[in-house]
Amino acid sequence: MKAHDGMYIDGAWRPAAGTGTIEVVNPADEQVIDRVPAGTAEDVDAAVRAARAALPGWAATPPAARGALIGALRDVLAARRQEIAETVTAELGAPLTFSQRVHADLPVAVAGSYAELAAGHVFEERIGNSTVHHEPIGVVGAITPWNYPLHQIVAKVAPALAAGCTVVLKPAEDTPLVAQLFAEAVHEAGIPAGVFNLVTGLGPVAGQALAEHEGVDLVSFTGSTAVGRSIAATAGAAVKKVALELGGKSANVILPSADLGRAVATGVANVMSNSGQTCSAWTRMLVHTSQYDEAVGLAAEAAAKYGDRIGPLVSARQRERVRGYIEKGVAEGARLVAGGPESPRERGWYVSPTVLADVTPEMTVAQEEIFGPVLSILRYEDEEEALRIANGTVYGLAGAVWAGDDGEAVAFARRMDTGQVDINGGRFNPLAPFGGYKQSGVGRELGAHGLAEYLQTKSLQF
């Protein structure tokens, strides 16, 4: 696609207020592929004004009609699948088949789910002598990261629109092209002017201006815990609602009765997928001491098989960060059994699929989010220790439990402090609420629970 040199505000591409630009770089070959405008507070202000002006009309549009327009958006995204996949591959570096199957198809599924949920949601209920109306919370400021760039946009914009809110989006600076493509799709779908607005730009400039803007009623943010904390503080001071999807350090708990081969293979695939740049990745594998050596061998083999199939990391900065973590893990006593900190290629921001064994719970690599293709394998003596390790981080986004039968796995999963657990390889469900316990976030995305985040109640008594 060709990059736009303006912002999508009030239904049209408008020149940016300033002259700054952001270079978009292909992580696979480090070449500049395009430039987009770097928005300023002035652009954000224009976008928020457009969203405010469009709010009464959109909020008053019958939910079924909003759902029909979200359905039209779904259809445009589906029709432009190949272009979306190629764009994500170019700016994120993901292998094309993964871009098609996940980066392009998942947003289609999520948009489709909100086309239906908008039409079917109960926006009014009777409680005793009251009628309770579920009304849109207002103008949403959405700030998204680069790791699932279109999914994270759709997971905020689709439910917000279904709820009757209007939106200003500030996408990640590393992946602005697919965000522009999304704005084109919104336009093509016939969603009214001002309902969705896009301001590309840098986090500390455009992102901060959006989070601080008094015309924004709810800030929905996905990204690092550090930035999330500061956004929540700003919003708190203004008594504004926030939704935060932050980091994770999820545990993949393999109980002794599990099918070890399947649990390890699925666990490695989970961590290496998207080059490890997945907030819900099971980056800590917990194995019983009796099966530990076998699991390490299987994981090393599985990681080595990934070899060339893995894409690069999004940026040189991310690659350096991930290499630093691998070195730190080894320095703190972990044993490198696959991959390592050396770059496997001369060009592109690649890191080899890496497995660290003999990781102990207090090590940095067992506590901090690495956001790269790095798996840590920890040992436990009994179930109570497994639980202590699984719950022993500040995060609680996802996880997995494997056991001989689902009942045993469920009993363990119910004791985990985390928002999502896959039982014996359960599949991702785009209708199930997604979000974190503890410092992994506030609020939930996806499905009916994701829609409810964008509503507030008004009770009328009779």
Positions that interact with ligand NAP (CB under 6 A): 143-147, 170, 172-174, 202-204, 207-208, 211, 222-224, 227, 230-231, 245-247, 279, 369, 371
Give the nearest residue (CB) to ligand NAP: 203
Closer CB to ligand NAP, 368 or 383, in the complex = 368
Instruction: Kindly state the smallest distance separating residue 212's Cβ from ligand NAP, in Å.
Output: 8
Instruction: Kindly state the smallest distance separating residue 68's Cβ from ligand NAP, in Å.
Output: 30
Instruction: Kindly state the smallest distance separating residue 152's Cβ from ligand NAP, in Å.
Output: 7
206: nearest Cα among 449, 379, 21: 21
Closer CB to ligand NAP, 64 or 226, in the complex = 226
Instruction: Kindly state the smallest distance separating residue 62's Cβ from ligand NAP, in Å.
Output: 33
- CA 257 to the chain's CA centroid: 32
Instruction: Write down the catalytic residue from 173, 212, 245, 408.
Output: 245
> Strand 139-143 vs strand 166-170: parallel, antiparallel, or unpaired?
parallel
Instruction: Kindly state the smallest distance separating residue 131's Cβ from ligand NAP, in Å.
Output: 38
Instruction: Write down the catalytic residue from 165, 279, 408, 453.
Output: 279
Beta strands in 370-427 (DSSP E): 374-380, 399-402, 422-423
Q: List for the chain the helix, strand, coil content (%; round to 5).
A: 45, 20, 35
Closer CB to ligand NAP, 147 or 291, in the complex = 147
Q: What is the dihedral of CA 366, 370, 375, 378, to 10 degrees?
A: 0
Alpha-carbon span 402 to 262, nearest angstrom: 9
Angle at 28 between CA 25 and CA 29, to 5 degrees: 70
Closer CB to ligand NAP, 211 or 386, in the complex = 211
Residues 279/245, Cβ–Cβ less than 8 Å: yes
> Strand 218-222 vs strand 241-245: parallel, antiparallel, or unpaired?
parallel
Closer CB to ligand NAP, 208 or 352, in the complex = 208
- Give 343's DSSP letter: -
Instruction: Kindly state the smallest distance separating residue 291's Cβ from ligand NAP, in Å.
Output: 30
In this structure, the number of other CB atoms found within 10 A of the CB of residue 309 comes to 11
Closer CB to ligand NAP, 61 or 278, in the complex = 278
Annotation marks residue 245 as catalytic: yes
Structure tokens at 343: 């770059």
Alpha-carbon span 340 to 344, nearest angstrom: 9
- For helices 292-306 and 260-272, angle between their N-to-C axes, nearest 10 degrees: 40
Instruction: Kindly state the smallest distance separating residue 236's Cβ from ligand NAP, in Å.
Output: 14
Closer CB to ligand NAP, 76 or 158, in the complex = 158
Closer CB to ligand NAP, 142 or 296, in the complex = 142
Annotation marks residue 188 as catalytic: no
- CA 131 to the chain's CA centroid: 36
Q: Which DSSP helix (H) or strand (E) runs through 397?
A: none
Angle at 334 between CA 330 and CA 335, to 5 degrees: 95
- Give 101's DSSP letter: I
The alpha carbons of the chain give a radius of gyration, in whole angstroms, of: 22
Closer CB to ligand NAP, 361 or 435, in the complex = 435
Alpha-carbon span 248 to 57, nearest angstrom: 38
Alpha-carbon span 364 to 412, nearest angstrom: 25
Alpha-carbon span 49 to 35, nearest angstrom: 26
Spell 178-194 as b/e; 16+ CB within 10 A means b.
bbbbbbbbbbebebebb
Which residues are part of the catalytic machinery? Answer: 245, 279
